[in-house]
């Protein structure tokens, strides 16, 4: 449960102690009253040089950055092109999908409802979504609004993402099916990053406001913030000018534009498409506790709630070695929290198909940076941390960008080694246990739905029915195991498919494994249904 601090005017009137009055004033006043940081021209030049070198050496179509300081946009820059094979240059007004940076907007929309007295962070989710269930009756009944936002449900990171990614399932259908997800840790004990629960958070917003989540976010946040070019669906991108196109290296070193994938069914977790200059307005408001001109979008108390660590995240050995000034990490309500160079940091990353972004705030310095690129590259994450080293500590080094260059140089050999290991484990000169047509049919997972397998000539083809993107063919590997190859424009690697036979020697199951950091295909247990 979340400890709540509440007080009313009549209670303050009873406080005769000047000390208590001062204490309350301090507790609900942003710690960002005065920015002391001075940034030299050489630091800006070094930031621009690091940005340009990253764009050129790490194969980015474009890279855009905006920096705010002391309530103003003080620096913005773009390098590269909207389309790697085109001519139009990117600029700070170019639109990028910023994905999970959307989560803080959903949190802010809920914070506004808390301020309005329509919601409490400690309210039970079932009070607003009575049909929403998770894996356990106790967890379902005890799940609070804050739990939806701070990644402590007991579910593994990215668990259930196959339910929404590219599927025909609506948000309501995704949530209905999520009850089948199984935990990997006890409730409220460990960090497990969740998109599914932000869909539920968006449904809470809709329940209270009576409006779609997108309409609420647009009316209560985007418009007051002056984020004029921001949209909340890929369907709104068509016809807009100055839009960065998503890219991927489908071949090593070759940037290819890829299709936009609609994320409407998980919009509260990742639908925002905007520019770095529009995000500058968001960062300025964040560091002034929701103040925009003479309007306050949310209170100091809600900034405190959103920026308070609710779920700890261990500082990995990697961070300890590469960023020794990082002493703690955690997650608030829609925000990552940590320390760097002796200051508290508040930030988030966003990953969309062919676009990555990173936001970093240093509240006590009123400093914020937003970075976006239009390919699947970790450069925004790395540059976010390295930029703070340049601006806060006048560092000459860029440890995380250097790490990415090391990784890029090592990747071909590592991929070759992984393929060699897989090939070495293959049992040669085997055949399937059954004729190929015996493997054809429909395979059903109770949570996800169906895979159909069809024999066309001498090749088995598959299709994930809820996800039109997921189709391809099987290549026999050994015994009843096949290599899975995508026939569509996929960022996922190939994987394996294993058909399980029962004691009668007929096919009864299909297990899919596609090793990747985003989607866990092993959560799906397909049983042959016809």
Residue 182, in any domain of the structure: yes
- Please give the pLDDT value at position 250: 82
Are residues 146 and 66 part of one domain?
A: yes
Listed residues 402, 428, 452: the one ending a domain: 402
Residues 6+ apart with CB under 8 A from 356: 99, 349, 350, 372, 373, 375, 376, 377, 378, 379, 380, 381
Q: pLDDT tens across 312-329, in order?
A: 999 999 999 999 999 999
Looking at 353, 385, 402, which one is the last position of a domain? 402
**Are residues 291 and 172 part of one domain?**
yes
CATH code, domain with 470: 2.40.128.600
Three-state DSSP state, 343: strand
Those residues of the chain that have pLDDT short of 50 are 1-34
> By the 8 A CB rule, do 298 and 83 touch?
no
* Number of structural domains the chain divides into: 2
pTM of the predicted structure, to 2 decimals: 0.92
Q: Give a yes or no: residue 215 inside a domain.
A: yes
Which of 382, 402, 422 is the endpoint of a domain?
Answer: 402
Question: According to the model, what pLDDT value does residue 59 have?
Answer: 96
Q: How far apart are the first and last CA of the chain?
A: 47
User: Cα-flanking dihedrals φ and ψ of residue 389, to 5°?
Assistant: -60, -40
Nearest to 516 by CA among 312, 351, 325, 400: 351
In a domain, 140, yes or no: yes
H-helix or E-strand spanning residue 229: none
| Residue 340 maps to a domain | yes
Asked if 376 and 467 sit in the same domain, the reply is: no
Burial of 404 (0-12, 13-18, 19+ CB in 10 A): buried
Q: What is the pLDDT of residue 35?
A: 54
Q: Are residues 327 and 443 in the same domain?
A: no
Element spanning 122, H or E: none
Find the domain containing 385 and state its range.
Answer: 36-402
Residues 128, 146: Cα–Cα separation, whole Å: 13
Q: Is the residue at 240 inside a domain?
A: yes
Q: Is 148 helix (H, G, I), strand (E, B) or coil?
A: helix
Residue at 449 is within a domain: yes
288 and 394: one domain?
yes
CATH code (residue 184): 3.40.710.10
Q: Do 49 and 186 fall into the same domain? A: yes
pLDDT tens digits for 395-416?
999 999 999 999 999 999 999 9
180 and 251 together in one domain: yes
């Amino acid at each position: 449960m979340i400890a709540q601090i509440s007080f009313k005017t009549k209670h303050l009137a009873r406080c005769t102690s000047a000390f208590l009055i001062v204490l309350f004033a301090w507790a609900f006043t942003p710690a960002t009253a005065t920015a002391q940081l001075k940034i030299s021209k050489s630091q800006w030049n070094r930031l621009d040089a690091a940005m340009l070198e990253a764009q050129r050496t790490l194969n980015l179509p474009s890279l855009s950055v905006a920096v705010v300081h002391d309530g103003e946009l003080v620096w913005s820059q773009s390098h590269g092109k909207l389309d790697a094979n085109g001519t139009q240059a990117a600029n700070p007004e170019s639109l990028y999908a910023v994905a999970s940076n959307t989560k803080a907007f959903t949190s802010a929309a809920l914070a506004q409802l808390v301020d309005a007295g329509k919601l409490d962070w400690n309210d039970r989710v079932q009070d607003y979504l009575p049909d929403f269930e998770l894996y356990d009756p106790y967890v379902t009944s005890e799940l609070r609004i804050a739990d939806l936002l701070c990644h402590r449900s007991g579910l593994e990171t990215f668990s259930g993402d196959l339910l929404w990614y590219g599927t025909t399932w609506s948000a309501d259908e995704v949530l209905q099916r999520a009850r089948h997800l199984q935990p990997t840790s006890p409730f409220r004990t460990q960090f497990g990053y969740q998109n599914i629960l932000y869909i539920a958070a968006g449904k809470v917003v809709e329940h209270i406001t009576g409006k779609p989540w997108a309409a609420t976010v647009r009316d209560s946040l985007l418009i007051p913030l002056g984020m004029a070019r921001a949209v909340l669906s890929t369907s709104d991108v068509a016809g807009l000018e100055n839009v960065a196109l998503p890219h991927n290296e489908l071949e090593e070193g070759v940037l290819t534009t890829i299709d936009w994938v609609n994320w409407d069914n998980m919009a509260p977790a990742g639908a925002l498409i905007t520019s770095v200059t529009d995000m500058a307005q968001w960062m300025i408001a964040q560091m002034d506790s929701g103040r925009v001109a003479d309007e306050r979008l949310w209170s100091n108390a809600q900034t405190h709630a959103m920026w308070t660590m609710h779920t700890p995240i261990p500082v990995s050995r990697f961070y300890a070695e590469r960023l020794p000034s990082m002493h703690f990490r955690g997650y608030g309500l829609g925000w990552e929290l940590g320390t760097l160079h002796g200051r508290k940091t508040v930030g988030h990353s966003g990953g969309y198909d062919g676009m990555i972004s990173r936001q970093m705030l240093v509240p006590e310095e009123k400093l914020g940076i937003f970075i976006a690129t239009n390919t699947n590259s970790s450069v925004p994450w790395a540059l976010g941390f390295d930029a703070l080293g340049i601006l806060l500590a006048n560092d000459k080094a860029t440890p995380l960008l250097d790490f990415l260059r090391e990784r890029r140089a090592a990747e071909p050999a590592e991929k070759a080694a992984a393929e060699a290991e897989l090939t070495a484990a293959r049992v040669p000169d085997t055949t399937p246990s059954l004729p190929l047509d015996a493997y054809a049919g429909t395979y059903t997972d109770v949570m996800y739905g169906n895979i159909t397998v069809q024999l066309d000539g001498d090749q088995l083809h598959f299709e994930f029915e809820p996800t039109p993107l997921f189709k391809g063919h099987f290549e026999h590997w050994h015994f009843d195991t096949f290599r899975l190859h995508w026939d569509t424009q996929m960022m996922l690697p190939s994987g394996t498919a294993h058909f399980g036979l029962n004691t009668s020697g007929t096919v009864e199951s299909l297990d899919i494994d596609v090793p990747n950091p985003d989607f866990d295909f092993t959560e799906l247990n397909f049983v042959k249904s016809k």
